[in-house]
């Protein structure tokens, strides 16, 4: 969303660290109890007074069940992926350690794959008095805390931008605290109708990169708050297993369809985001129909109000916007090509009214190496020229103008294009290496605020503790070629070491 996404500084609150310590204490207690062979039995005198029989064990309280769930997770008592039902090709990669097991596409659950979402919180609820009712309803509540730090060669306020989301140099920050309430449709079955929904609540620094105009957007666009709240996703899924290989209709606010990366922290290989991802569309509100024709072909057609705008915002920002995507999978799931016309309408300048076309290729080399490559071309027309005072009244709050070729132009066509590649190595079920290289050309400076080419190179590592804690250190170098775009427009190069931690519940 341009320069408005680069104005915040935040420190990680102490309660976050305290929460981690309290949960770890519960986990350690549970693990020690299991290792020491503790059982919940009565004292001998009580047993004797009951005719030599033990009294029934009292049910565990919620927090004890939660501690046990973390303890069992930390020692690896998880389900075997081979036991999870599935229809179609085998999953090409495993999650964990990776953020997904199937090559990702948006606007729908993965058709043919079982729902494996959840975490220790749901394990504790299922083990309680009403656990069976919760399990039968298939409604789940889960989420995470995500915080991190960075050390940068930049030092000005918000000087890391356009690197994201850690825009403040040399700081510690709470990126996001997220809660999901959801019911996933059963897409493994192929003979009846099913339904689902998702409500996602996000709070933290990262709301600056998820905000859509009309969804509490005054926090950013009017007040420029440090912390913010965003209901990132709110949709229903209607699934018909008997149509073709499965058809899902999603209605509501959902994540924009293409992209290797996503706004939610666990859905990414790395802590930081590519420049390519930072400046494309994030969410749409509308309806999207996804149909799996067979194991090879997937087609998607949708209609929304546009990129990062609510339908009730109205013209010129909200307008009927078409999306069409096609996916083709081959080599028994090891290769996937995903082509998307993500947003097409009049193309006139408005709030994030990108006309965006994507191509993404996923490829698995062998048991431990795979690669993901994404490219896009985006544009808006009739964008106000920031170097012409006559164009100033045409600027829209939250939407950058363009640096046109001539200062006499009032408006101009503003395109940009980019390509990013991830090369990923799995070391174990709990660890992996990521190498990211990318190039972006902001031809009129309309996305980043600087008319320049960019390159970025990053190496990162991911390590899981159980399936609830992920640590992701990384080292990143980037360069802007035609104008100094870093450190508040004073440097052409930037080096950043950063790391985050994701704590699931």
What tens digit of pLDDT does each residue of 422-440 get? Answer: 999 999 999 999 999 999 9
What percent of the chain is predicted at pLDDT more than 90?
A: 83
Cβ atoms within 10 Å of 245's Cβ, excluding its own? 19
User: For 340-376, how does the pLDDT look when each residue is reduced to its tens digit (9 = 90+)?
Assistant: 999 999 999 999 999 999 999 999 999 999 999 999 9
Asked if 195 and 189 count as a contact pair (C-beta separation under 8 A), the reply is: no
The pair of structure tokens assigned to 150 is 């960075």
**What CA–CA distance (Å, rounded) separates 503 from 410?**
49
User: 328 forms bridges with which residues in the sheet?
Assistant: 297, 337
The answer to whether residue 23 scores a pLDDT higher than 90 is: no
User: For 399-415, how does the pLDDT look when each residue is reduced to its tens digit (9 = 90+)?
Assistant: 999 999 999 999 999 99
The answer to whether residue 54 scores a pLDDT higher than 50 is: no
Domains in the chain, CATH or no CATH each: 2-25+78-504 (2.40.160.10)
The answer to whether residue 2 scores a pLDDT higher than 80 is: no
What percent of the chain is predicted at pLDDT more than 70?
A: 87
The answer to whether residue 32 scores a pLDDT higher than 80 is: no
Mean pLDDT of 451-455: 98
- Name the pLDDT band for 83 (thresholds 50, 70, 90): confident
Q: Based on the number of CB atoms within 10 Å of its own CB, is 298 exposed (0-12), middle (13-18) or buried (19 or more)?
A: buried
Q: Which helix (H) or strand (E) segment is 350 a member of? A: none
User: For 166-223, how does the pLDDT look when each residue is reduced to its tens digit (9 = 90+)?
Assistant: 999 999 999 999 999 999 999 999 999 999 999 999 999 999 999 999 999 999 999 9
The pLDDT, as a whole number, for residue 20 is 43
Report the interhelical angle of 14-35 vs 62-74 (nearest 10°). 80
Whether this model's pTM surpasses 0.85: yes
CA atoms within 13 A on the CB side of 139: 9
Mean pLDDT of 78-83: 61
CA separation, residue 127 to residues 60, 120, 426 (Å)? 9, 11, 33
- DSSP state for residue 154 in the 8-state scheme: -
């Amino acid at each position: 969303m341009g320069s408005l996404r680069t104005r915040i500084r935040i420190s990680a609150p102490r309660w976050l660290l305290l929460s981690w310590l309290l949960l770890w204490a519960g986990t350690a207690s549970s693990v020690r109890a299991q290792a020491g062979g503790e059982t919940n039995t009565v004292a001998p005198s009580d047993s004797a007074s009951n005719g030599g029989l033990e009294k029934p064990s009292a049910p565990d309280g919620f927090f004890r069940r939660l501690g046990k769930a973390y303890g069992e997770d930390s020692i690896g008592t998880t389900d075997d992926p081979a036991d999870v039902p599935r229809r179609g090709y085998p999953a090409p990669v495993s999650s964990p350690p990776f953020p997904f097991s199937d090559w990702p596409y948006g606007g729908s659950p993965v058709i043919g794959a079982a729902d494996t979402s959840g975490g220790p919180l749901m394990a504790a609820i299922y083990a309680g008095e009403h656990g069976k009712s919760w399990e039968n309803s298939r409604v789940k509540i889960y989420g995470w805390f995500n915080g991190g730090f960075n050390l940068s060669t930049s030092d000005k306020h918000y000087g890391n931008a356009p690197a994201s989301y850690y825009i403040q140099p040399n700081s510690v920050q709470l990126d996001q605290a997220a809660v999901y309430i959801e019911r996933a449709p059963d897409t493994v079955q192929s003979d009846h109708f099913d339904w689902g929904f998702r409500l996602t609540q996000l709070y933290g620094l990262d709301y600056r990169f998820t905000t859509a105009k009309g969804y509490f957007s005054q926090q950013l666009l009017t007040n420029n708050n440090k912390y913010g709240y965003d209901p990132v996703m709110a949709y229903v899924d209607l699934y018909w297993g008997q149509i073709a290989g499965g058809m899902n209709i999603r209605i509501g606010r959902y994540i924009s369809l293409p992209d290797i990366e996503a706004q939610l922290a666990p859905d990414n290989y790395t802590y930081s985001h590519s420049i390519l991802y930072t400046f494309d569309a994030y969410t749409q509100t509308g309806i999207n129909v996804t149909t799996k024709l067979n194991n090879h072909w997937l087609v998607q057609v949708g209609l929304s109000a546009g990129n990062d705008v609510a339908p009730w915002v109205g013209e010129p920002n909200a307008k009927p916007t078409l999306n069409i995507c096609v996916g083709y999978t081959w080599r028994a799931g090891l290769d996937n090509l995903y082509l998307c016309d993500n947003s097409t309408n009049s193309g006139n300048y408005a709030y994030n009214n990108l006309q965006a076309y994507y191509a993404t290729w996923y490829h698995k080399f062998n048991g431990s190496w795979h690669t993901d490559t994404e490219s896009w071309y985006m544009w808006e027309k009739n964008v106000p020229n920031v170097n012409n005072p006559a164009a100033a009244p045409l600027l829209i709050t939250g939407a950058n103008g363009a640096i046109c070729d001539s200062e006499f132009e009032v408006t101009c066509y503003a395109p940009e294009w980019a390509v990013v590649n991830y090369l990923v190595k799995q070391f174990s079920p709990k660890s992996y290496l990521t190498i990211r290289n990318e190039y972006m050309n902001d031809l009129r400076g309309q996305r980043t605020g600087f008319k320049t080419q960019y390159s970025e190179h990053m190496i990162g590592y991911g390590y899981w503790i159980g399936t609830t804690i992920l640590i992701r250190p990384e080292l990143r170098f980037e360069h802007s070629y035609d104008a100094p775009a870093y450190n508040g427009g004073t440097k052409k190069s930037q080096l950043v070491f950063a790391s985050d931690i994701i704590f699931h519940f």
